[in-house]
Every structure is written in structure tokens, then in C-alpha cells.
Amino acid sequence: MKRVNVFGRQSSILNLRSRIREYRLDTNLNHRINLSYPGISRREMLCRSANGFGGLALAAMLADKLDASATNPLAQRPPHYAAKAKSVIFLFMDGGPSQMDTFDPKPRLAKEAGQTIPFETPTTVFNISNKIFPSPFQFKKHGQSGADVSDLFPHVATCVDDLVIIRSMVADHSEHTAANYFMHSGSGFQGRPSMGAWVTYGLGSECDNLPGFVVLESGLIPPGGLDLFGSGFLPASYQGTLFRKGKSPIADLEPREKSSELQIAKLDLLRRLNQGVLEQFGSSRELEATIGNYELAFRMQAEVPDLLDLRGESEATRKLYGLDESETQEFGLQCLLARRLIERSVRFVELLPPARQGIDRWDQHGALENGHRINAKATDKPIAALLKDLKGRGLLESTLVVWGGEFGRTPTAQFPDGGYVKEIGRDHDPFGFTMWLAGGGVKAGTTFGSTDEYGYFAVENKVHVHDLHATILHLLGLDHTKLTYPFSGRNMRLTDVHGRVVKEILA
Amino acid sequence: MCIVVSFLRLLTRRWLQFAWLMLLLWPAQVSANLNAEQIEFFEKEIRPLFVSKCYSCHSAQLPAPMGGLRLDTAEGVVKGGDSGPLIVPGEPEKSLLIKAVSYKDLQLKMPPTGKLTDEEIQRLITWVKMGAPDPRNEVASATAPTSRIDFEKARTFWAFRKIQKPVVPVVEQNSWVSSPIDSFVLAQLQSKGLKPAPPADKHAWLRRVTFDLIGLPPTPREIEAYLADNSALAQDRVVDRLLASPHYGERWARHWLDLVRFAETNGHEFDNDKLDAWRYRDYVIRALNQDVPYDQFVKEHIAGDLLPQKRLSADGTCWESPLATGFLWFGEVLNSATDSVKSRADEVDNQIDVLTKAFLGLTGACSRCHDHKFDPIPTTDYYALAGFLHSTNVSEAILDSPPVANRIAEARTSIGGLNLRIERLMRGELLHQAGLVDAYLLAASEVLAKKPEERERAIFAMASKRGLAGALLSSWAARIEAAQKQPESLFYAYARVLEQIHKGESFETAWTQIRLETSKPAEVPAGGERRDVIFEEFESRGFPNWKAEGQAFGDGPVHRLPPNEPLRDYVGQGVANSFGVSNRMVGSLTSRKFKLPKLFVHVLMGGSREDLKGEKARLRFTVVADGHKSLHLFPKGESGLQWMTLRLTKEIGRQGYFEIVDRSTTGHIVVDQIVLSDSQEPPRTFRPPVAGIQPLVSQQGIQSLEELARTYRQFFQNTLQKNQGVSPIVATLSPTGRLEDLAANQLLPGGRSLSLQASHTAQSEVRKFAWLPDSGSRAGTSQKITLEQITQLQAMREQIERRIPESIFGMIGSDEEPHDVQVHIRGNHKNLGEVAPRRFLQVIAGDKQPPVIEGSGRLQLAEWMVHRENPLTPRVMVNRIWKHHFGQGIVRSVDNFGKTGEPPTHPELLDFLAQKFIDSGWSIKAMHRIMVLSSTYAMSSQADLKAEELDPENKWLHRMPMQRLEGESIRDAILAVSGRLDPKVLGPAIPPHISAYQDGRGKPESGPLDGNGRRSIYIQVRRNFLTPIFLAFDYPLPISAIGRRSVSTVPSQALMLMNNEFVVQQAEAWAHRSLEVETDPERGVRNMFLTAFGRPAQDQEVQETLEFLQAQAQRHAKLQPALSEVQLKERVWADVAHVLFNSAEFVYIR
């Protein structure tokens, strides 16, 4: 049989096939079994399929494994230099939590409550007052590091010695959609690759059965839509996969056949026909890759239910994440899933805050006190649990956890207006806000940068969003100036032409 | 004129040179005169500060210091940066340096890493006060103020060179050559020691060329016909057939839509609709099907609205050419930009990006902040192009062709004439009715005194007793009751008095109270203390502040209503009224642009009610802020006008305008006043109805209800006497608000209505009257004749109305405030430099271009796009066509012909084709013919081991590439194969199917799962909700021109074909259809293979499939024993169909 050497090496696919079988069995031996179909084990299924439909496809996959050939875009790639972190969990606080109500106390606001702020303020989204609005929350110092945390976050407060709190974040956009795009992709416009896509593009994925970039939705998609997690001009392989709540988190993951047997039989016919085509018309890299795709897709069908099966989690763990309380249950589950995804070597996991009745994300233009309390209650305990759990399992060292919104909020009040705003709130402030990082090579237990005495503008050690991106990439072993992709006649970067690695916050 | 201009320019330049010279000289003089103290201060206090805090960004340490500012030389300090001079010696408060370091300026805060200490700032202030002594005498390397691009040298780069007429190479083995293309390809192959692959089999060729040209698989019948044709012209016939197919335009339009980032919504937060975007899509399909010469096509894109010779649609009903300009606005639109100027600059940037890439293959947008790093496009060229676009805006225009517009105008005139005649005929009746006003008012007051359930009977009795029409009395009663709550109603005074009397007040007390209330001057008039801005009152002649589209609004505000317009209780002066002469009329008014100054806008308006909301509403008043149609008001279908209010929370301070739109053929909108206000409350002016009744209520001596009723009667009688025509006030006599209905109800026995086209509310009222007995007292002979005449005229009018042609709306470009723009230094719109006069790229058109003297200048730009001096346009296009046929372009970077792109693999071939393209009259179809009828195109895609080693990328085309179908073609092919494909061409977009996995703001209602079987190009492109099956297969995001889609292989593709609802649904449909036509299993399998893959099945394939059918049937039966035989059959055949959809062969073209 005449064979075309599609992988650039002198070995025939038939030879590979037997080796693959060994490889498959070996890698699957220790996996816990989960059932996506009643009455058939995952392993059994994979074994059957290895003998059946998957054989030829696996050749392509194994070939990729062996020489990391360019045919698999998700093949692992070495970082530019030794990495501190292997993966990222981005706790995206959609809507923009207020800095002076969370981690950046401003006592001056209380003293000058109701007075006019003594400097010119930039245009905000709403036409708001410039009257000072003090924080309704109490601050205390916590941990050995003595970090300031408001009473919104009693649980995260117990983790401050693991955090780097950046109080001098600066972003470019005052309005949600553009600011969301900016925080995610370094550009205020739609259609650029998201951070998670860049990271997956840069490092590939260590996980064969799940996507490299996963977004856990909990009921709210931030303004800007799914493009926030898109791959932009990068190949589609790097786009974020949205996991919805519930049993069937990914579109088209669940087979429509009434039993696995039916599907496997169909896939077996498919394999025979595909093989016939290769024999009849010759092979090609494209055809092989397409056929190989079915193997990964089939494995994903099995892996995702396994991921979601929490039967193996202890009672203590469930309690830790707050799965037993109605307010924390939702985000607790997301945080627990995040840990499970990290355990499975998923590269980049993003979490979105849960939808809550009567409030609009962290976007409290009105009724700030109530809204922030509700949001904090929903997320505080689960986030602390995630940090502790990761630490306990030795995963925090290699996982970078990032917390923050697309911007902060103004120290000035947005008063009730008889329309949208019923009680006092705050407008958007991208000029100086707070984010924190934990794990993965950051200098834990520090607070970095500062805003002015009112908390409006960052003044000291400003960290621009581009700098944050550069730093995240750096911790993953990627040089932000070298992680490029040619598009539109130039080499595009996550950090555009900007960005500085904030060395001061590295361990 | 020209002389003056150049003289001025010369003068300016001279002056600049002088100033430049002065600046260079100045520091030398200063430093010469420094004393020791000054030098010491600088060296001790200032220089170290500069070194430690500023040099890292503002010195020769960087190849290009930030902001163009250098602080490491005295000259640099004096010269300042892009933002202008740094220091005004002696005046710290005027010095940019001090402003920057003290963090007082919002934009400029230096150093950006953190504010200097107060002491450090004080040092700098002292230094500036001293006159900024700077003893440094290092000489700054002079940086040329203008671009350093050497255009002469740049023009020698292959892409900018003139198109050469290459000689077709002479090659051996010329039996293979069937087109000049083959000679070029073969010559290259032979020079590399390669030979062309053998020809593909006939099945493969037919499937390839069919998908290639029409995007659908060949049908078994087409395959049969081609196989049977053994003539030398068999391939020509196929190609002719395909190029003549209307599906050709659909297929190639999709390629084009990738280039113009076609999208039908704005994206951003709410993903609002871009109205009429689909008209552009249809324009492209038609243009391609008609093989409109490409140079014309390009010119229409740039200036289709301005071309002296615009194209009309094939049926002659609408303009084609202007539709093309819509491509400029398919970009993302921000829904609440905080900076209008920046958001416009960003929009223009996206337009330049698309325009330069799509037509010229250049990355022009790179020059926004600095001269292009690689290509000869200086920043001034970017802003020269930006000038054209800043002088152009999008408009929602009516594209009626002159004959259609004429027909509408004629209808308008004819109906206007008929209306006058009807009014005249009704005059006698009106006078009669005016004389009965008091009788009806008094009767109504008695009716209203009764309990609601008794009123109907009372009306009967009273009408017959007093010789009144029951229908009219009923309506009078209803109106008087309603008027109690309508201060703007003419009958408010009467109704309120009646209300008080019924509560037990005496007439005298009630009347005094009401008089007091209604005679007060306007409580809070517009303007005045509230500092309202009356934006428009529609009292002037014409619409001087508005751009009118269509003919609904006529030439200006309306002062009298046509007798058939249903709008009761409207009495006033001028209004903008889209009724025209009929609800069928459509049109729009667009205001001038201005900065929205107040938080509220109050609009006094009325009109018909319709269900559609948002920008899709057909009747609306809209606030457009920064290009985003952000807020709307809709008429409520109630009688009269009412104030409606919008809160401009996010819009205030932004660049905006108003639209009054009527796109409904069954309704209309009326706007009387637009007031901008700080107050949430609308201005409480007494409206004209009350103003009209003012003299009446101020009369002394009205002692009783009867007298008040009489006064009303006199008022109507006087008004009628005074007006030659029919005053709108008189329309209030009609029960429906349509003047004509009065005549009809009164004159016809039984109160039958003539109001065939009354509005919803009016119709229901009329129906209510219909059963009421008429007094019959006025049905005399003369009235009968009058009525017959009116009826006749109405019938004539209705006939004309029905023939009013439908107007076509389109999203097109139009000139607006033409002007040149200034260079935005470093792309910053707040930092403006020299003016960049509008002109074409200098590398092509040189620097001696005639200035733009008329309008936006797009017409000149369009001419340059296709000028014979411009080699890019034809090269870029033939390369794009080539790319789609052969998988890769001759220039592989199809959107980038610049230095960072890839050079052509076959430069002579590229030029040969470009020249051929021009010679053929820019015929795209001619290019297809040359390419697909070549032997190169007919090669097999089967790889040869040795050739692969020599040419692994297949750069020299030793074989045809294997090509994966695009997502749209996969979906189309599934539909075609399953038999569900609807071959209908063109038309409004089909809303996309939205699955549970698509989420976010602006989530639309889901369309049908199978898109009604329409081809993928007709599925609406909703920016934030792109169709998953397309996305999975590398559908390009609509952000920029994409001439080459990526081809990725991801598991979601397999999951999609394995498990997606649509795919399974179509597999079932296909199985069902197959079973209908073929019951024999083997023949059935063979048919399916032929349909899916365009080739006969191999015996082994048939064997395996038949075995599967049997085994799978058993599995199904075991699982569901209850399945009937027919059901079982459908299941297993659907399984086969599903497997074939999943086959690699299905999605690849060999």
C-alpha cells in the first residue's frame, strides 16, 4: 500500500497503530472511571474505541505527541524562560468593585463627606455629582502583613498573607464594554484575542481531554459578550470554552444517540469510510487531523461528566467552599470546579460572578452598600476556600490567582435620580483601582502602589492593565514582547506596544 | 483661487521655517549668558532630577523618545514634544512641564510611574521662574519635522511598480497547457524540477468547480450530464452554467463580505441592529451575478452616492450604486462612548483599515500614530484619507429611482387634489354639524349624568327624540368624558364644568373655577426660567434644520390635516407629519448634529401605534448619540398629541442628532415640538386647543351650561366661516378624527362608515356606531348626490393610494461638512498637528494632486482607486480570486502587499492576470473562466511523495490543494443534500438560531433551527451572536478585512457534526427523503454516496454500509422494541446519513 509520509518521518501509520494502543491503555489505566452512559465504563469505552474507530485518528494524535508537530495547535510549547506559574485562575469581578470599599481605605472621605472633591474630575459614564461619598464599610488590618480589608471580605481577609494587593491599577476606558475588552485583550475593541487565548497559544495545553481555556459562567455574561473570551485573530483552537451551569456545560457535548453503543457503531462505520477514503484518494495532513479530531471530541464527551462528578469530594471540602449555604453555593461550586480544572492541567480558568436578584453585577451606580454586600457574600467564602484548598494541595505555587474588575468606582457619589438610581452609589473609575494576585510566584503578603487621598487616581507605582498582562505572562514564563502573532501587517501582542513587568511584586 | 491657496501655503511654510530657525538659535543665546549661580542650580537641582525621573523615556536612550520629547539636551527642552513647547520661561503656570509634574492635567501626568515629591516640583517651578537656564551644549540630533519616506525608492518595490505586460513563457510539454496560466505555472514547476500532478478524475473536478463557483455540491443529475458530455467543451459548458447560476453571486458575495467585515448589528453592549445592512449584501450578490465591472464596483463602494452615472436596479425601481457605500459602517459601534471625538476617530480608523486592506492590500491603519514602519504611508497620508471619511456620514436614505419617486410625487399631487374636492363637498355638511354642536354637547351632558350601564339606551332614546345621530351622540359623550383628563383638549373646559356640576356644584362656581384654571398663562412655558432649549417647533417654511428623505413629510411642516388622516383633537400650527396624503407614504427627517446639552428631551408627538420597538420600530423618534441609535419614542396611537420624555443619562454631552422616522406603510408619526430641558417634567404650556378656546372662556356673562354649549357652537361656526378651506380644528367634529367619517356617518342610512382605512382605534369606534339607528332626517336627495360624489372620489383616491410604489431604504454614505483634518499626533485626537489635505496615497498618486474642491472628495478618491497609475487595485483583486480557486494567493498574504507581506510566488503570472483583468473590462467572471478552465486547476490533489519533499508548501502548485469547506458551505451542503435547501435568492435576513449556550446582553429571539432552509449568507450576522457552526469552522470575526480565513481543526467541529441538533435534524430529513425515492437498500446507499460526495460509492463502502444498516437496526430494536418497521428504517437510515455528514470527505474538496 502506497503511503504518503504526512508527518515528515519515515514510519508507517500501521506501525504506529499498535504503539498507540499501548499508549492509550497505559494513560487511561489509572483514571477514575466515570460513566457518561449507563452501563458502560469510560475505560471500556476507550478500549473499544481504540480498537474501533479511533485507531487511525490516534496515529495523528500520537505523532503529535511524539514530535509536537505543528499539526496540533494545542501541543505543549516550552515557555521563554523558567515559569513560576503553570496556570491561571482569573476571578473576574464583572461590573467593577469599588476600591475604597474593599482594599483601599480612604479615611479622608469620611471627614469630608458630602463636600465637593477638590479637583477636576474626568467625564464619567453618568452625569454624576462631585460630592464625596465615604465608604459605608469598616476596615481592619489583617494577617502578618497587616493588609487593610473591609468587612465585606471576612474570609479573604484570612488569606491576605498570600496576596499581593495592587492599589494602583489603571485602565483606559470608563465604560463597561470597552473596559471589559481592554481587561481581557489589551484592546478596547471587539475581536482581539483574550488573555486566556494568548496564554494557551503561548504554552499549549497539558490537558488532552479538555480545552486549554475554560470560562465558568454562572448566569451572567459581561457586557461585550462571548468575544471577551474569543481567540480574535488567533486560530479558533485557543478560544475560551464557556461552561454553563448544570449537567451539560458545553454545547453539542452530549451525544444524541440513545446509547453509547449506537454512537460507537456509527463512529466505527465512520472510521471505515474515512479509512477507505484515505486509501482510495491518498492521505493528507488535513484529512488526518480532521479524523483525529473525533478522538478528542469523543474523549471530551467522557471527561466533562467526570469533571462535574463531585462524589469524590469530602464533606469538609464542600463545607469549605460553602456548598451547604444558599448564598455561597453557586460561586462555591464554580470555585471548586476551578480547582478541579487546575488539577486536570487546564491552562486558564476564568470565573464570572453569579447573577443576583435585584442587582447588576458589581456595577453599583446606586445602592452601593447593599449591592456590594450581596456580591461579597456570594464570593468571599468560596474565594478564600479556593485559595486555601489550592494551597493545601500544593497547587497554589503553580497557579496564579487574579482578582479584580474592569475598573473601580468613584469616591464621589452618584445620587438617586428618580430613574435608574434609587440610593447612593458610585460611577466608574478606571484611573486608580484595586486588584489582587495570589500564588504562582508573586510576593505574597504585600500591598503595592497607592491612589491619592480620595482614591480617585493612582499616584504611586501605577500598574496599567498592560503592565498587569505583561506580569501575568512573565509569571507563566512568557516574555510579553515575544509572544506575538502576525496580523494586519504586524506582530500583534497582548500588550500592544506597551507593558512593563512589575518586578516589584514578584517573589 | 489656486494661486491664492498656494501663496498662502507658501507663506505658512516660510513662517514655519522662520520660527524653526528662531527656536534653534534661542538656546545658544541663552546659554551664552548664564551666570555661575544659574549653572549651579541647573546642575545640582535639575539635571539629576531629569536623569533619574525622566531620561528613561525622554532621552537618546530610546531610539524614539516618548511623545517626541527629549530632556537630555537643551534644544530638546526648548523644542518640547509632540504636545508643544515644554516651558514658557519665567511663567511656571503657563508651562506644560509644571502642569504635567503637578498632576493637574487629566491627560498629562508625568512621570507616569508616580508623582514627584512636592519639593521636587518646587525645584522645577523655581527653575522655570529663573527662565529655565540650561547650560548643556550637547547638540541635539536634528529630527526632521516631516516624513522621511523616500517615495522614489519605495516605488521600486514590486507591489508599487506599474503592471508589466509579461510575455507568456514558452514551455515544453505544452500538450498540458490549455491556458496561458498553465504556461506560467509549468515554467516555474519545470525550473524547480517538478511536474504537474495528473488530472483529477471527472467527479472530483465537477465537485471542486461546483463548490468553488456556487458553494453547493453538484446534484446527481448534473453529475450524470457532465459524465455524458464527452465533447471538448464539456468543462466550458459546466463553467458557463455555474457562472450563470444565481447561486454564483451568493457564493462569491460571502468572500467579499469577509473583506468588508460585514455585520448586521453594532456589537458592543446591546448589539443593536444596523438597519438595512442586508440591502448591501443583496447589492453584492446582484453585482456579482451581473458581473458589474470591478472598477465600477470599487467606485460605487467609495462614492456610489456621488457618481454622476449611478446604476439603477435591474427592475428600475431603486438606485444600486449608493448601496455600496454602506460598507463603511459595518464596524462596531459603541453604545456609550465617553469621548465623542475619539469614538469618531476610532470609527474612521476602522474604515481606513478596511478600505486600504480590501481594495489596496495595504495596512493603512498602521499610520495612525506614526509613519508606517514598513510601507511608504506617512501619517499625513493616513489623515488625508481620514479627511474623506470625516467628511462623510451614514444616512438612512430612500433609494427610489426617479420614475418611482415621480410616481409617488404624482400620486401625492393627485390625492391632494382629490382631498381638496372632498373637503369642498363636505363644506355644507360641516356647517350643518357646527350648528348642531350645542345640541350634541347638551345631549352628551345628559347621557353622562346617567350610570354607565344605562347610557346606551339613553343615547337611543335621546337621539331619536331630538333628531340627532345616535352614532355621533355616542362619540360626543365618550369624548367629553375623556376630555375631563385632557387639559389640551378643546372640550376640556366644558367637560370639567360638567364634571363639577355632576358632583353637585352650581354652574357658576364650576365655571369660575375652570375659567381661572384655563385662563392662567402657561404655568411653566418652554424656555424661560427652566432655561429650556426649544430645539424645534416646526413653524418655519420647509425643514431648514432637517434632512428630509422620502416624500411622507412633504416639503415642510403641515398646517392643515388631510380629511382622511385619523388624528382627533389635534389643533395647532405647524407639525412635522408623515401622513403626507396617505399612511402608505414613508420617509424620515434627520436633524443637524449638535452636542446634546441637556439631560431631558421632551417631544410633543402623536401618531399610529405599532408593535416593533427599538431601532427596528417603523415609527419612531430617535436620539442618535455618537452614531448609536440609543433612545426612542414611539407614537401611542392615541388621539391628539402628547408630551413624551427621554432621559439622556448617557447621551448628554455627546455628539448627537434626532431622527423622525416613518417606515410604515400602515401608519404615520406627527411631531409638533422638541424641547431640551434640565427638568424631567415636560413644559406645561397650554397647547393650541386651549389657546384656541381662550377667547371663548374669557367671555363674560356665560350663565349656564346651555350658554357655554352655544358658545362652543359659535366658536365652530366662526372658525368655519373664517377658513376658506377646512381648518384642522373642524376635524374635532368627527367622531373618528377623520373629517370624512363625519360626512359618512351622518349621511349614510344606518351610520355605515366609509372609513375604509381608519386607524385601529378609529375603526373600532366606527364599528361600535354601525348598529345604531340613524335619524335619517338628513338623507335628502342633494345630500345623497354629495355623498355619492365623495364616495367616488374616495374610491379614486384609494386606487391611487394602492398604486403608490414601495420605497426602498438603505444604509448609505452621504457628504457632511466636508473638511480636511489635522494630523493627530501619536494618534491622539487631543494633540493636533498640521492639516493633512485630502488626497490619495502619495506613493501612488505623487504629491502634486489637485486639491479637493467639492464635497467630501470621495469621487476623486474613487477615481484614484481604479486609476491606471494604481497597480494595486487590479493586482489585489485578481490575487483574491486566485486565492479562492487555488487555496493560496500568488501573494499569500492576500490583504498585505506591503513589505511585511509575502512576495508573489509567480510575479509575472500576477501581472499577466492583472492586465488581463483590466483588458477584459474588469470582468470578474472572465477571471473565473481563465482560472478554472486551466489545466492547473484540473490537477489532482493527490500528493506525490517526491514532489512533497521538493515543495512541501505546494508553493509552485505541483498539485491542487485539498480544501476544507467553510462553515457556511458545510451548512449549505447539508441542506442541499438533505433536500431542505430553499433556492430563493436575496431578501431580508433570517434571524439566527440561538442555542442555550449563547448568552449575553442583547440576546435576540431565536430564529428557526434550519434557518428556513435558506442559504447561510442569508442568516443574519449578529456581531455578538455569531452562528456557532460558522464559528467552529473559522468564520472570521467582523472586525477587519479578512481575505484569508484561518483553517483550524478543533474538537468542537467534531462535536458539532456529531451532536448538534441541526445536523441530526437534517440527517433525519435526508433519510426520510431517500426512503421516499428509493426502497432498495443498495441503490439507496449508492444514491446517498453520490449525493454527498459527488462520486459513485465503492463496492466495499456499499458492503460496509449495508452491514451497518442491519446491525444497527438490531441495536435500535433491542433498545426500543416498540419501534415500528417504518420507524426503525428511518432511524437507521438517519444514522447512515449522519455518518456521511461526519465523513472527512464531506467537508473536504479534493
Mutate to test the interface with A, among B1050, B1068, B1086 (most CBs of A within 10 A): B1050
Mutual orientation of helices A285-308 and A260-281 as an angle, nearest 10°? 160
Task: Render pLDDT for A102-128 as a digit per residue (tens, 0 to 9).
Answer: 999 999 999 999 999 988 888 777 767
Residue A54's pLDDT is what? 37
CB contacts under 8 A, A 322-361 vs B, are: none
Q: Bridge-partner residues for B822, per DSSP?
A: B835
- Residue-wise pLDDT for B417-427, tens only, equals 999 898 888 87
Torsion angle of C-alpha atoms B669, B673, B678, B682, degrees rounded to 10: -80
Query: Reduced to 3 states, what is the DSSP secondary structure of residue B784?
Result: helix
Cβ–Cβ of B997/A251 closer than 8 Å?
Answer: yes
- pLDDT surpassing 90 at residue A436: yes
First-residue to last-residue Cα distance in chain A: 59
pLDDT: which is higher, B32 or B774? B32
Going by C-alpha positions, the residue among A502, A496, A498 that lies closest to residue A475 is A502
Mean pLDDT of B327-355: 89
What is the pLDDT at residue A48? 37
Cβ-contact A85, A390 below 8 angstroms: no
Write the DSSP symbol of residue A303: H
Q: What is the pTM of this model?
A: 0.79
List Cα–Cα distances, A159 to A144, A146, A376, in angstroms: 10, 11, 15
Instruction: Compute the radius of gyration of chain B from its Cα atoms.
Output: 38
A462:B103 CB<8 A: no
Instruction: Indicate the angle between helix axes B234-244 and B246-259, nearest 10 degrees.
Output: 70
Cα–Cα distance, B913 to B933 (Å, whole number): 14
Average pLDDT of chain B to the nearest whole number: 85
pLDDT at B63: 62
Give the span between the Cα atoms of B971 and B512, in whole angstroms.
Answer: 77
In contact, B169 and B190? CB cutoff 8 Å: no
CB contact under 8 A, B1059 and A255: yes
Q: What is the pLDDT of residues B629-685, one digit of tens each?
A: 889 999 998 777 888 999 998 888 888 999 999 999 999 999 989 999 998 888 865
User: What pLDDT score does B254 carry?
Assistant: 98
What whole-number distance in Å separates Cα of residue A268 and Cα of residue A281? Answer: 20
Mean pLDDT of B1133-1145: 96
Measure the CA–CA gap between B906 and B957, rounded to whole angstroms: 10
Residue of B nearest to A260 (CA): B1115
CA B581/CA B563 separation, integer angstroms: 9
DSSP for B505-524 reads --HHHHHHHHHHHHHSPPSS
Which long-range contacts does B67-74 make (Cβ < 8 Å, 24+ apart)? B67/B826, B68/B143, B68/B825, B68/B826, B70/B140, B72/B138, B73/B136, B73/B138, B73/B139, B73/B140, B74/B27, B74/B30, B74/B31, B74/B134, B74/B135, B74/B136, B74/B137, B74/B138, B74/B140
The radius of gyration of chain A from alpha carbons, rounded to an integer in Å, stands at 25
Give the Cα-Cα-Cα angle B364, B368, B371 (nearest 5 degrees).
80
Q: For residue A283, what pLDDT is reported?
A: 74
Q: What is the mean pLDDT of residues B959-983?
A: 96
Q: Is B1055–A489 a contact, with Cβ atoms under 8 angstroms apart?
A: no
| Residue B262 exposed, middle or buried by CB count within 10 Å (0-12, 13-18, 19+) | buried
pLDDT tier for residue B5 given thresholds of 50, 70 and 90: very low
Minimum mean pLDDT range among A49-58, B230-239, B402-411: A49-58
| Predicted confidence (pLDDT) per residue in A269-284, tens digit | 999 999 998 888 877 7
Q: Which range has the top average pLDDT, A167-176, A231-240, B1131-1140?
A: B1131-1140
Q: Which of A124, A191, A280 sits opposite B1037 (nearest CB)?
A: A191
Output the 3-class SS for B690-748.
HHHHHHHHCCCCCCCHHHHHHHHHHHHHHHHHHCCCCCHHHHHHCCCCCHHHHHHHHHC
Encode pLDDT of B686-698 as tens digits. 454 445 566 666 6
Question: Among the residues of B33-117, which ranges form H helices?
Answer: 36-41, 47-49, 74-79, 96-101
Contact at CB, B896 and A489, closer than 8 angstroms: yes
3-state secondary structure B929-981: HHHHCCCCCCECCCCCHHHHHHCCCCCCCCCCCCEECCHHHHHHHHHHHHCCC
Cβ pair A290:B1148 closer than 8 A: yes
pLDDT in tens, A145-154: 999 999 999 9
Q: pLDDT of B891-936, one tens digit each? A: 999 999 998 888 999 999 999 999 999 999 999 999 999 999 999 9
In this structure, the dihedral spanned by the alpha carbons of residues B547, B549, B551 and B557, taken in order and rounded to 10 degrees, is -20
Give residue B25's pLDDT. 39
Q: How confident is the model at residue B725 (pLDDT cuts 50, 70, 90)?
A: low
From chain A, the residues in CB contact with B649 under 8 A are 126-127, 417, 419-420
B902 to chain A: nearest residue by CA?
Answer: A489
Lowest mean pLDDT among A107-116, B480-489, B492-501: B480-489
The answer to whether the Cα torsion of A461, A464, A470, A471 is positive or negative is positive
What DSSP character marks residue A325? S
pLDDT digits (tens, 9 = 90+) for B1049-1076: 778 899 999 999 999 999 999 999 999 9
Residue B782's pLDDT is: 58
Question: Residue B1046 carries which side chain, given as an amino acid letter?
Answer: S
- Amino acid code (one letter) for B797: R
Closest to B608 (Cα-Cα) out of B585, B574, B591: B585
pLDDT score of B142 more than 50: no
CB contact under 8 A, B1143 and A270: yes
- Assess whether pLDDT exceeds 80 at residue A255: yes
Distance, in Å, from the CA atom of B490 to the CA atom of B480, rounded to the nearest integer, reads 10
Nearest to A265 among B103, B1112, B1120 (CB): B1112
The whole-angstrom distance between B113's CA and the closest CA on chain A is: 5
pLDDT grade for B278, boundaries at 50, 70 and 90: very high
Is pLDDT of B765 > 60?
no
pLDDT exceeds 60 at position A10: no
- CA distances B119 to B72, B90, B102, B116, B122, Å, are 22, 19, 11, 8, 5
pLDDT range class, residue B465, cuts 50, 70, 90: confident
**Does residue B393 sit in helix, strand or coil?**
strand
Of A450, A495, A461, A473, the closest CA to residue A105 belongs to A450
Q: Is the pLDDT of residue A44 over 70?
A: no
- Residue B1067's pLDDT is what? 97
Q: Measured between alpha carbons, how far is residue B677 from residues A73, B603, B635, B795 in Å?
A: 58, 11, 21, 46
What is the crossing angle of helices B340-360 and B294-303, to 10°? 170
Closest residue on chain A to B995 (Cα): A251
Residue B310's pLDDT band (cuts 50, 70, 90): very high
The closest of B428, B676, B448, B419 to B561, measured between CA atoms, is B419
CB A204 within 8 A of CB A211: no
How close A36 gets to chain B, by Cα (Å)?
14
pLDDT at B32: 47
Please give the DSSP secondary-structure letter assigned to residue B81: B
pLDDT at B10 over 60: no
- In angstroms, the CA B15 to CA B645 distance is 54
Q: What is the DSSP string of B428-447?
A: HHHHHHHHTHHHHHHHHHHH
The contacts of residue A358 (CB under 8 Å, 6+ apart) are: none
More confident residue, B373 or B959: B959
Q: Distance between CA atoms of B331 and B327, rounded to whole angstroms? A: 9
- pLDDT bin (cut points 50, 70, 90) of residue B727 is low
Give B-chain residues touching A360 at CB under 8 angstroms.
none
User: The dihedral of CA B956, B957, B962, B963: what is its sign?
Assistant: positive
pLDDT, tens digit, 9 for 90 and up, residues B846-855: 988 999 988 9
Q: To the nearest whole percent, how much of chain A has pLDDT over 70?
A: 85
d(CA B932, CA B938): 8
For the residues A216-239, what does the mean pLDDT come to?
84
Kindly write down the DSSP assignment for every residue of A202-230, as one continuous string. Answer: HH--S-SSS-SEEEE--S-PPTTGGGGG-
CA distance A403 to A401: 7
pLDDT of residue B743: 63
B345-362 confidence digits (pLDDT tens):
999 999 999 999 999 999
**Mean pLDDT over all residues of chain A?**
83
User: Residue B1049 and residue A290: Cβ atoms within 8 Å?
Assistant: yes
CB atoms within 10 A of CB B1078: 15
Give the C-alpha separation, A30 to A290, whole Å.
28
The answer to which of B342-351, B714-723, B940-949 has the lowest mean pLDDT is B714-723
Distance (Å, rounded) from C-alpha B36 to C-alpha B38?
5
Alpha helices in B654-701 (DSSP H): 688-697
pLDDT tens sequence across B564-597: 887 655 555 788 999 988 999 999 999 988 889 9
Q: What is the pLDDT of residues B1075-1091, one digit of tens each?
A: 999 889 999 999 999 99
Q: Please write the tens of the pLDDT for every residue from B538-556.
A: 988 899 989 999 999 999 9
Provide the pLDDT for residue B570: 56
Provide the 10 A C-beta neighbour count for residue A274. 23
Of all residues in chain B, what percent carry a pLDDT higher than 90?
A: 53
CB proximity A205 to B under 8 Å: no
Look at residue B349 and give its three-state secondary structure.
helix
Beta bridge partners of A463: A169
For residue B282, give the nearest of B978, B858, B1014, B862 by alpha carbon. B1014
Nearest to B765 by CA among B788, B743, B736: B736
pLDDT at B61 over 70: no
Largest CA-CA distance found in chain A, in angstroms, rounded = 87
